């Protein structure tokens, strides 16, 4: 934001020009007291409540742990973004809610795509079957009257099978287990997510659909280990099919760790908000993931607040990013994250990918939606 040295430096330069008697002592006094003043202001947290400069608005982009060892110490992190962009994206989110609230026949999915800061735009992207395109187009025209909408025709195709060597956990006998490694759900496999928290409890987590016909409370979650066999690490405690997430209580001396094995840095420090994702999309900043099957991949954010109806039930609050080759069977339950110097900010889960022509991304429930609807956080 404001660099502490430059105002004093600039001031000193002006003073040098104005007075030949300007002394080093006076400069040091200005620099020292200014540094102290700026430090004090930052200690008081003035940036949190100062309005952004004209043409900018502050938005909360992430929830970050103040105390790294205390998951409940979440504080908001803000960033100043262009006001016109913010207005457009907010409007797109609001319009998209209206579209999502009506069940328009033939609509397979829809998402908000924030544009770049220079263009200050946002578009709605909707997915329809080719035979329904006209009908959906008319319905949207009535609803949105002149808004920019991208309509994409999609066809269903069956998914392909996975191959390759999976990422396994080390020979752990207990203690913390990071996400990003293979876990076993009965006769299926998935990727273990980083620790999920709610009401002071820490949970292991993965995709609910990894339990096949549906998870039930008490189902075991196991960890295949390199050279050490498979061991049970927890039992399913909460099942959330609508967001495709299970919360698993740890057993046998294992505990979920706020970290992703194979990510750099590996420690998880918090999660991104809806506008945090929009901000990253506007700046073209990529997300990353570590899946147990496909490993580490990187990709652009393609859609936020997405609704996806292709799996039968409509899923809301989805994040679309990357390409369909970034996810395969066994990667479900992995987390999409944005690395910062301090640690990882979780964007959401990766639970599915496109398998139809015309689109190419993976998707899963966004962290902010999971927090809003079920109270969990990373």
Partner 1 sequence: MGTTSDVLGVVRRVLADLLVVTVWVAFLTLAALATAWPRSVFYALLVGGIAAWVEITADQKD
Give the interface with partner 1 as residue ranges (CB under 8 A): 1-2, 7-8, 11, 21, 23, 25-26, 29-30, 32-34, 36-38, 40-41, 44, 46-47, 49-54, 80
- Residue with Cβ nearer partner 1 (80 or 242): 80
First and final C-alpha spacing in the chain: 27
- Residue with Cβ nearer partner 1 (30 or 143): 30
| Angle, helix 274-282 to helix 83-101, in steps of 10 degrees | 120
- Residue with Cβ nearer partner 1 (49 or 199): 49
Residue 254, strand partner residues: 175
Spatial distance between the Cα atoms of 78 and 69, rounded to a whole number of angstroms: 22
Structure tokens at 288: 């990353």
Nearest residue to 72 via CA among 195, 193, 178, 176: 195
- Residue with Cβ nearer partner 1 (36 or 97): 36
Q: What does residue 217 show for φ and ψ, rounded to 5 degrees?
A: -55, 130
- Report yes or no: 351 and 185 within 8 Å, Cβ to Cβ: no
Q: Residue 270, SS3? A: strand
Nearest residue to 366 via CA among 284, 299, 278, 282: 278
- Residue with Cβ nearer partner 1 (80 or 133): 80
- Report yes or no: 280 and 301 within 8 Å, Cβ to Cβ: yes
Cis check for the bond before 265: say yes or no (omega within 30 of 0).
yes
Q: Which helix (H) or strand (E) holds 215?
A: none
DSSP 366: B
Q: CA torsion angle for 239, 278, 106, 146 (degrees, to 10)?
A: 150
CB of 56 to partner 1, least distance (A): 8
Strands 74-82 and 107-114, bridge-based pairing: unpaired
CB of 114 to partner 1, least distance (A): 23
CB of 234 to partner 1, least distance (A): 46
Residue 197, strand partner residues: 202, 377
Spatial distance between the Cα atoms of 183 and 188, rounded to a whole number of angstroms: 9
Rg of the chain on CA atoms, in Å: 24
CB of 58 to partner 1, least distance (A): 9
Strands 268-272 and 344-350, bridge-based pairing: parallel
Residue 303, strand partner residues: 320
Spatial distance between the Cα atoms of 2 and 183, rounded to a whole number of angstroms: 46
């Amino acid at each position: 934001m404001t660099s502490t040295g430059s105002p004093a430096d600039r001031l000193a330069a002006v003073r040098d020009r104005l007075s030949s008697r300007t002394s080093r002592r006076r400069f040091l006094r200005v620099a020292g007291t200014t540094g102290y003043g700026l430090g004090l202001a930052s200690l008081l947290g003035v940036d949190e409540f100062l309005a952004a400069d004209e043409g900018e608005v502050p938005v909360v982009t992430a929830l970050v742990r103040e105390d790294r060892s205390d998951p409940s110490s979440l504080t908001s992190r803000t960033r100043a973004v262009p006001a016109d962009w913010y207005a457009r994206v907010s409007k797109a989110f609001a319009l998209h809610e209206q579209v999502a609230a009506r069940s328009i026949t033939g609509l397979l999915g829809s998402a908000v795509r924030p544009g770049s800061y220079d263009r200050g735009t946002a578009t709605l992207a909707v997915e329809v079957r080719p035979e329904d395109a006209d009908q959906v187009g008319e319905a949207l025209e009535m609803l949105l009257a002149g808004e920019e909408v991208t309509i994409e025709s999609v066809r269903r195709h069956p998914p392909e099978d996975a191959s390759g060597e999976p990422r396994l956990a080390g020979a752990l006998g207990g203690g913390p287990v990071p996400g990003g490694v293979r876990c076993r759900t009965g006769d299926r496999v998935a990727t273990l997510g980083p620790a999920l928290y709610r009401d002071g409890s820490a949970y292991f987590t993965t995709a609910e659909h990894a339990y096949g016909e549906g998870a039930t409370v008490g189902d075991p979650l196991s960890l295949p280990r390199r050279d050490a066999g498979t061991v049970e690490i927890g039992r399913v405690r909460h099942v959330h099919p609508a967001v495709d997430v299970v919360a698993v209580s740890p057993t046998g001396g294992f505990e979920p760790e706020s970290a992703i094995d194979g990510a750099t840095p590996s420690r998880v420090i918090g999660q991104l908000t809806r506008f945090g994702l929009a901000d990253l999309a506007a700046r073209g900043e990529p997300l990353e993931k570590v899946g147990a099957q496909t490993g580490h991949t990187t990709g652009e954010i393609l859609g936020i607040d997405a609704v996806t109806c292709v799996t039968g039930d409509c899923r809301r609050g989805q994040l679309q990013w990357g390409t369909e080759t970034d996810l395969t069977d066994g990667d479900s339950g992995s987390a999409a994250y944005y690395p910062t110097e301090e640690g990882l900010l979780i964007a959401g889960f990766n639970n599915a990918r496109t398998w139809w022509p015309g689109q190419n991304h993976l998707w899963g429930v966004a962290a902010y939606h999971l927090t809003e609807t079920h109270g969990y956080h990373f």
